Structure 1
Amino acid sequence: MGGSAYDWPRTLMARGAEAQLRPEHLRRRPQEARSGALHCFLLDCSASMLKDGKLARAKGVLVALMEEAYRRRDRVALLCFGGNTVELRMPPRRAGAFNDAWLTPIAGGGGTPLTLGVQQAGILLAKHESAQRWLWLLTDGRSTESPTRPPGVDMATVVDFEAGPGALGRAASLAAAWRAAHVRPAL
């Protein structure tokens, strides 16, 4: 069976922080999930994400997730939060092939309005009840806020970019509170 038979985002979530991918981690792509999903990506663009290239790595993960949504013919939306604002960078639409024009201008800095970002993602997803609704939070968890999971989210994943000494584990705690998948991308 070819690589398209596997659902790589779910497979990587099942693997978690383990270094090796094992057969029990593999998840097959469900037939009903091939289309009709809306993936809302919530990207942390706060100042802490600028340290150690975390924002650059988050952009790389975002590109990979967008490409997978494109292959599945799903819809995507992108919200960026940082400073004291949340910006809708890409309203819900069919995923397209990678285009550097939307990714390059995303900059970082300022505080981490996590609750405001999660609220805006919840509002956006609530408008799309007919779709399977996915929320992807890409963050280092450097916020004292602990927002609740938006209602109506079918699948949630916290992609955690915090690493190294002094790690607080807030992204992992948020994922646990949300009953969401917690993924740490390879560095």
Structure 2
Amino acid sequence: MVTSGALARAKGVLLGLLEEAYQRREQVALICFGGAGVELRLPPSRAAHWNEEWVAPIGGGGGTPLVQALGAADGLLRMQALRLAALQGWLWLMTDARTRERPARPAYADEIRILDFESSRAPLRRAQQLAQDWRAHYQPVSA
């Protein structure tokens, strides 16, 4: 996602999603993943106002540990479901899906949105297939 400019687009989309969550006073968490591994960047908390300086350090590239990232996300959703039974768990997956991993649908995600940042001339459409397999909402994000 780094070389295609998709990471920069994803950061812009992320800021927009966080702003919406802030306005609605929703709970959010952020897990980043890439060649450096999986990082819990923002533990579950009430959404705050974020800006470009906050997302600038988020990196990408070098591989996609998708299964590991989704496992971490499902773990957070599980903990929140146990703590707040009435809370609906949403998972927003922002990816170019340039991985061969075929993860199972996260069990504790009540609603899943997959934002596809793939921008290859020969698209693999793996994010689209994942959305179909999971019965998730799929949205391509164009350049």
Say what the alpha-carbon RMSD is for the aligned residues: 1.2
Identity of aligned residues (%): 50
Alignment deviations for residues 1-43 of structure 1 (CA, whole Å, 9 cap, x no partner): xxxxxxxxxxxxxxxxxxxxxxxxxxxxxxxxxxxxxxxxxxx
Partner of 1:55: 7
Measure, in 2, the Cα distance between the counterparts of 1:107 and 1:98. Answer: 17
TM superposition score normalised by structure 2: 0.92
AA at the equivalent of 1:184: P
Give 1:176's aligned residue: 132
Q: 2:31 touches 2:39 (CA, 8 Å); kept in 1? A: yes
For 2:69 and 2:131, the matched residues in 1 are separated by: 15
Which residue number in structure 2 is paired with residue 132 of structure 1?
88
What is residue 70 of structure 1 aligned with on the other side? Answer: 22
Q: Distance in 2 between matches of 1:186 and 1:70?
A: 25
**Which runs of 4 or more aligned residues in structure 1 lie more than 4 Å from their structure 2 counterparts after TM superposition?**
none
Residue 147 of structure 1 corresponds to which residue in structure 2? 103
CA distance in 1, matches of 2:61, 2:96: 13
Shift of 1:54: 0.4
Paired residues of 2:34 and 2:59 also in contact (CA < 8 A):
no
CA distance in 2, matches of 1:104, 1:138: 16
User: How far apart in 1 are the matches of 2:65 and 2:142?
Assistant: 26
Report how many aligned residue pairs link the two structures: 139
- TM-score, length basis structure 1: 0.71
